[in-house]
Amino acid sequence: MKNIQFLYLRSFSKTGGIEKFNKLFMLALSKIAQKNSINPTFISAYDTFCDTNYIDKDKFVGFDKSKILFTLFSVYKSFQNDITILGHINLSLVGLIIKIVKPKQKVFLVVHGIEVWQKQRFFKKWMLFKADKIISVSEFTKDIILKNYPNISNKFCIFPNTFDPLFEWPQNFEKPIDLTQKYAINQQDKILLTVSRLEYSEKYKGYDKVFETLPELILEFPNLKYFIIGKADDIELKRINDLVKKYKIESYVIILGYIPDNELIKHYLMADIFIMPSKKEGFGIVFIEAGLCGLQVIAGNKDASKEALINGKFGEVVNPDDTQDIANALKNALKNSLTEIQKVNNQQLIQKTFGFDSFNSRLTEILFH
C-alpha cells in the first residue's frame, strides 16, 4: 500500500486553470486508489471545503490560510506517507522540510507555467533540485526550466491537462435556445468568446488585443458580438470598460462575469469562435473545452497554448503581439465555419489525446515507475 499526500494551495474556493487541474488531479488519485494499492490524502493551504463529486471529504483537510498549521500538519502526515506531491512551487519550503525530516520520502513537484518560468531563488530553486520527479503540464514549461537548470532534465514527466469527465460534453453543437434568447443572439450573429479569470495582475490573456481588432472587423461583420466570461477584479474591470469605450465597441462587447462550471458548456455552445491570444499559458484547459464544444479556436504562439491545440491539429495559433495577425485569423474563421464533421473530428481527437482515461494512465505510470 502506497500512502500519498497531495499538498496544494486552492481548488474548490477559487476558479482558474491550476484550480481545475488540482480538482481533476485529486479525482484521478481517488479513481486510481479504487483499483490500486494507494491511499491518498488531500491537504489544502487555503480551501475550507471540498466537493465530494471529486474527493471523499474524509480524505480532505483544509487550513483556511493558516500556513503554520498547514506546514506542521503536512510534515507530521509525511511520516505516514511514501510520496508527497506538491501542487505548486510555492509549497517548496514544506517539501524541503519533509525531505530533511524523512529523507527517504519521495517528493514530486507539479509545475504549470509562469510561476516557474523565471530563475528561482532559495527554497524554490532547491526544491527543483531535491524533487524526485517534476511533473510538468507542458513541454514548453519543461523547456523554459531546463534553460535555467539544464542538469535536472532526468527528473521531468510530461503530464498534460485533461477535461472534466463529470461534465456531459455535447453530442450535438446546436446553440442553446435559452441563452440565445437571454442574450438576444440572432441567427445572423457571429459570437466570439473568451473564458478567463480577469485580473489586473494577469494582463496577458489577449482580450485587449481583440478589442483593437473589433472596429476593423465590425465593418465587414456587423453582426459580431464578443462575450467575455470570468470573474473580474475592480481594477481590471475598469480597465476593460475604458478600453471598450476607447475603441467605441460598447454595443459589441458583453462582459458576463463569473459563470458556474456547470453552466460553462452551454455558454461555449452559444459561441462560434473561442479566442484567447494569451502569452503566458502553461497549458490552457479552456482551449480543449472550447474544442470539445465545436468552436473554432484561436490561441497565441508564444506559450504552451499550441500544445493544447495539439500543435495545430485543431485550431489556429497567432502572434499575440500582432493585432493584424489576430484580425486576419478572426476574418478567416468568420468566413469559414467548421462543418459538423470537422467539429466531431476535433472532439474525437481531443478526447483521444486529453481524455480522463489517458490522464489516469499517465498518473498511474508516474506513481508506480
What is the Cα Rg of the chain in Å?
21
The CATH architecture annotation of domain 2-159 reads 3-Layer(aba) Sandwich (3.40)
C-beta atoms surrounding 136 within 10 Å: 28
The pLDDT of residue 61: 98
User: Is pLDDT above 90 for 259?
Assistant: yes
User: Is pLDDT above 90 for 37?
Assistant: no
The pLDDT of residue 357: 96
| Measured distance CA(89)–CA(107) in Å, rounded | 12
Q: Domain coordinates of the chain in residue numbers?
A: 2-159, 177-353
DSSP letter for each residue of 243-266: HHHHTT-TTTEEEEE---HHHHHH
Q: What percent of the chain has pLDDT over 90?
A: 94
User: Is pLDDT above 90 for 201?
Assistant: no
User: Is pLDDT above 90 for 32?
Assistant: yes
Residue 5, helix vs strand vs coil:
strand
Q: How many CA atoms lie within 13 A of 310 on its CB side?
A: 15
Alpha carbon distances (Å) from 145 to 134, 165, 223: 10, 31, 44
DSSP 175: P
The pLDDT of residue 204: 85
| Measured distance CA(277)–CA(302) in Å, rounded | 9
The pLDDT of residue 369: 84
**Contact between 246 and 212 (Cβ < 8 Å):** no
DSSP 337: P
**Contact between 42 and 6 (Cβ < 8 Å):** yes
User: pLDDT-derived band of residue 1, with 50, 70 and 90 as boundaries?
Assistant: confident
Name, of 35-39, 175-179, 261-265, the range with top average pLDDT. 175-179
| pTM, entire model | 0.94
Q: Please state the CATH superfamily assignment of the domain spanning residues 177-353 in this structure.
A: Glycogen Phosphorylase B; (3.40.50.2000)
User: pLDDT-derived band of residue 56, with 50, 70 and 90 as boundaries?
Assistant: very high
Q: Using CB atoms within 10 A of its CB, is residue 177 exposed (0-12), middle (13-18) or buried (19+)?
A: exposed
Alpha carbon distances (Å) from 320 to 137, 275, 303, 311: 21, 11, 10, 16
Q: H/E/C letters for each residue in 147-159?
A: HHCHHHHHHEEEC
The pLDDT of residue 209: 97
Tell me the H-state helices in 161-284.
Answer: 177-182, 207-220, 234-246, 261-269
User: Is pLDDT above 90 for 221?
Assistant: yes
Can 2-159 and 177-353 be said to share one CATH topology? yes
The pLDDT of residue 16: 87
User: Is pLDDT above 90 for 211?
Assistant: yes
Closest by CA to 108, choosing from 369, 328, 282, 323, is 369
pLDDT in tens, 165-192: 999 999 999 999 999 999 999 999 999 9
Please, which residues have CB within 8 angstroms of residue 153's CB and are 6 or more apart in sequence?
Answer: 146
| Residues facing residue 4 across a β-bridge | 40, 83
Q: How many CA atoms lie within 13 A of 176 on its CB side?
A: 16
Buried b (16+ CB within 10 A) or exposed e, 73-87: bbbebbeebbbbbbb
Average pLDDT of every residue of the chain: 96
> What is the rounded average pLDDT of the residues 37-64?
96
Q: Which residue has the higher pLDDT, 16 or 343?
A: 343
| Measured distance CA(122)–CA(130) in Å, rounded | 12
> What is the rounded average pLDDT of the residues 298-306?
97
> What is the rounded average pLDDT of the residues 19-31?
97
